[in-house]
A = this chain, B = another copy of it.
Amino acid sequence: MNTLTVDLGDRSYPIYIGQGLLSDASLLQSHIVGNEVLVVSNVKVAPLYLGSVLISLKGKKVESVILPDGECYKNLEILNRIFDALLERHFGRKVTLIALGGGVIGDMTGFAAACYQRGVAFIQIPTTLLSQVDSSVGGKTGVNHPMGKNMIGAFHQPQCVIADTNTLNTLDDCQLSSGIAEVIKYGLINDKSFFSWIEHNIEKLLIRDHEALAYAIERSCRDKAAIVAEDERESGVRALLNLGHTFGHAIETGMGYGAWLHGEAVAVGMLMAADLSMRMGWISADDLHRIDNLLDRSGLPTRAPVDMTEQRFLSLMSVDKKVENGHLRLVLMRSLGGSIISSDFSHVLLAETVNAHHAISA
């Protein structure tokens, strides 16, 4: 088992990565606050892993609530089912919520924990590669609004994150690829040698080589944790983590939540950010090709959906959280592995990027 710490003062917490951690009762129980636990999972994950978690929680007052599976259910209405379960079972302020599932379950459970009685404890047990490397680190929680992704939420740090790599064995191929998109993102943000490592090890990741996966998860979490520790509330450098996300969120919102996997949308978004960076003269055509090629080898899409016209892209991007005083800010690449946050880009070139990606797909 590998352990790393997200350093946030009195909100610091450990991330545990290893095989079979779901069955480690003492590890899990040592992070339960109080005596009451509500496990939140979904219809896909619960049949696979809820049993193990319940056994590990023996001796506590434990209940569970099973939500439908998918990004399209990440909304206030489904969130309310968690509150219903908490209140029906008379859970008090000392309850600990456990998120057992992917990013949607993690985001919703974390947000429910942030709001229930104005804040209770929670633990993340991410069961997808995407959530292990991304959404379980950093305390961002929330739900979508029909007009924008993650628009309603809170910063709320977990007691700990338990990433059991065994859970990746049951992951769909496209969900594995979606997670790899976020792994590649850390290379592109500020870790060029990690990007090269992924280029050399992508086949191992795709066949779910345990050692390669554990390495990729740990390095991704370390890269993310370092950025989050520097800027917990995203007033500065943390926005780098949104590389590919402004384009990607536009695709997710525009196509309807769930039509595209998050990592798939981010993959196209990163490529569009790279394309615009190349048009700005910041990275080379060869760099762009390396990124395109790695995403393609990872089983990820590299073109936006046909329906996403220039106008639709730009309109959806204008409601992004990164808009400041009407100015859109994007994460772009000054170099391969050297991303920056900038509103200092040409809107003509932005339109060209959007059109290029739309035209190719048409």
Are the C-beta atoms of B93 and A154 separated by less than 8 Å? no
Are the C-beta atoms of A118 and B140 separated by less than 8 Å? yes
Shortest distance from the beta carbon of A76 to any chain B beta carbon, whole Å: 5
Q: Which residues of B contact A318 (CB under 8 A)?
A: 90
Stretch of A97-105, A145-153, A273-281, A339-347 at the chain-chain interface? A145-153
Q: Which residues of B contact A94 (CB under 8 A)?
A: 324-325
Give a binary string over A73-101; 1 marks a CB under 8 Å from any B CB, 0 the rest: 00010011001100110101110000000
Are the C-beta atoms of B90 and A154 separated by less than 8 Å? no
Asked if A117 is at the interface of the complex by the 8 Å CB criterion, the answer is yes
Are the C-beta atoms of A87 and B145 separated by less than 8 Å? yes
Are the C-beta atoms of A87 and B325 separated by less than 8 Å? no
Q: Which residues of B contact A233 (CB under 8 A)?
A: 119
Choose among B92, B145, B151, B234 the residue that contacts A323 (Cβ–Cβ < 8 A): B92
Asked if A312 is at the interface of the complex by the 8 Å CB criterion, the answer is no
A325-B115 contact in complex given A83-B152, A145-B83, C-beta closer than 8 Å:
no
This chain: copies in complex: 2
Asked if A319 is at the interface of the complex by the 8 Å CB criterion, the answer is yes
Q: Which bracket fits the contact residues of A?
A: 35 or more
Asked if A142 is at the interface of the complex by the 8 Å CB criterion, the answer is yes
Q: Which residues of B contact A119 (CB under 8 A)?
A: 154-155, 233
Asked if A321 is at the interface of the complex by the 8 Å CB criterion, the answer is yes
Q: Which residues of B contact A152 (CB under 8 A)?
A: 83, 115-116
Q: Which of A297-323 contact B (CB under 8 A)?
A: 318-319, 321, 323
Q: With the chains together, A201 CA to B44 CA distance in Å?
A: 65
Asked if A35 is at the interface of the complex by the 8 Å CB criterion, the answer is yes
Q: Which of A142, A151, A152, A154 has the most CB atoms of chain B within a 10 A radius of its CB?
A: A152
Q: With the chains together, A23 CA to B88 CA distance in Å?
A: 47
A92-B321 contact in complex given A118-B155, A152-B115, C-beta closer than 8 Å:
yes
Whose C-beta in chain B lies nearest to the C-beta of A153? B118
Asked if A133 is at the interface of the complex by the 8 Å CB criterion, the answer is no
Asked if A28 is at the interface of the complex by the 8 Å CB criterion, the answer is no
Asked if A34 is at the interface of the complex by the 8 Å CB criterion, the answer is yes
Choose among B116, B147, B154 the residue that contacts A151 (Cβ–Cβ < 8 A): B116
Q: With the chains together, A92 CA to B41 CA distance in Å?
A: 32
Asked if A114 is at the interface of the complex by the 8 Å CB criterion, the answer is yes
Q: Which residues of B contact A80 (CB under 8 A)?
A: 76, 145
A154-B114 contact in complex given A34-B325, A325-B35, C-beta closer than 8 Å:
yes
A92-B325 contact in complex given A76-B76, A87-B147, A118-B142, C-beta closer than 8 Å:
yes
Shortest distance from the beta carbon of A119 to any chain B beta carbon, whole Å: 7
Are the C-beta atoms of B154 and A87 separated by less than 8 Å? no
Shortest distance from the beta carbon of A196 to any chain B beta carbon, whole Å: 34
Q: Which residues of B contact A35 (CB under 8 A)?
A: 325
